[in-house]
Amino acid sequence: MSLFGLCEMNILSFETNFGKCSVALFKGERIFYTESEQQFMQSEELVPLIVSLAKDTGINLAKDIDFIACTIGPGSFTGIRIGIATARGMRKASKHIRLIGISTLEALVYSAKDSVDGLDNYNAIVSVVDAHGGQLYMQKFDRFVHPLSEIFVVSREEFIASIKSDEFVVGDIEMSECYKISIDAKLVGEIAKKIIKNDKNRNDELNPVYVKNPSVTLKK
């Protein structure tokens, strides 16, 4: 896709895995952004945020959106389902829309590439997000964002012990060993632009990344 063509595209992106639900619209070269005021209100607020942003920007959601991008996990089971279901529902209503699924671990590495100097000095970039219960999701990438490993679930202790001196750690967690980056809809949209430009064969089916069973306690 030419740069001119990319500039003409309208990309809707949202992030529903962490904290506040957020939505961004890339309308040509302009970026519009909104987020929920409260934490973990994805199921109640994602669709209203999308509708409000479309109204404020004059975008027709059925006619004007070319791509929808969202995170597909690992992360919140509820958040993953809400984001993917919303994107799939919008494509059913408008068949020309293409979908772009971005793993949370992949998103962190893309962001590190743009914000951290000297990554060429490391043999791997280790991406990590909170899996709750004292556990972490982790995956290793090269500096071109190609996976070097599967996604693992490890304890914090196991994770710290496994990190090598030639590996750079990036994550959406508070940890002294980790360069912290927060994932939001603007980051998801920026990554989607890179994918649209460079990865024309990327599958546009949104498949959730579930690595472990949900933490659910059944009532007796």
Question: Which CATH entry fits the domain spanning 3-103+182-198: 3.20.20.450, 3.40.50.150, 3.30.1450.10, 3.30.420.40?
Answer: 3.30.420.40
Question: Which CATH entry fits the domain spanning 105-180: 3.30.1360.200, 3.90.1300.10, 3.30.420.40, 3.30.70.2660?
Answer: 3.30.420.40
**Residue 201: pLDDT over 90:** no
Residues near 118 by beta carbon (within 8 Å), at least 6 away in sequence: none
pLDDT confidence of residue 47: 93
pTM of the model: 0.89
**Mean pLDDT, residues 85-98 taken together:** 92
Would you list the domain boundaries of the chain?
3-103+182-198, 105-180
Does this chain's domain 3-103+182-198 share its CATH topology with 105-180?
yes
pLDDT confidence of residue 214: 57
Per residue in 113-124, pLDDT (tens digit) is 989 999 999 999
CA distance 40 to 173: 16
Per-residue confidence band for 212, with pLDDT thresholds at 50, 70 and 90: confident
**What average pLDDT does the structure give for the chain?**
88
DSSP assignment letter at 149:
S
Per-residue confidence band for 218, with pLDDT thresholds at 50, 70 and 90: very low
Per residue in 179-199, pLDDT (tens digit) is 999 899 999 999 999 999 887
Strand ranges (E), the chain? 10-15, 22-27, 30-35, 67-71, 98-102, 124-132, 135-141, 152-155, 167-171, 179-180
**Mean pLDDT, residues 20-33 taken together:** 93
Per residue in 128-151, pLDDT (tens digit) is 999 988 999 999 999 999 999 999
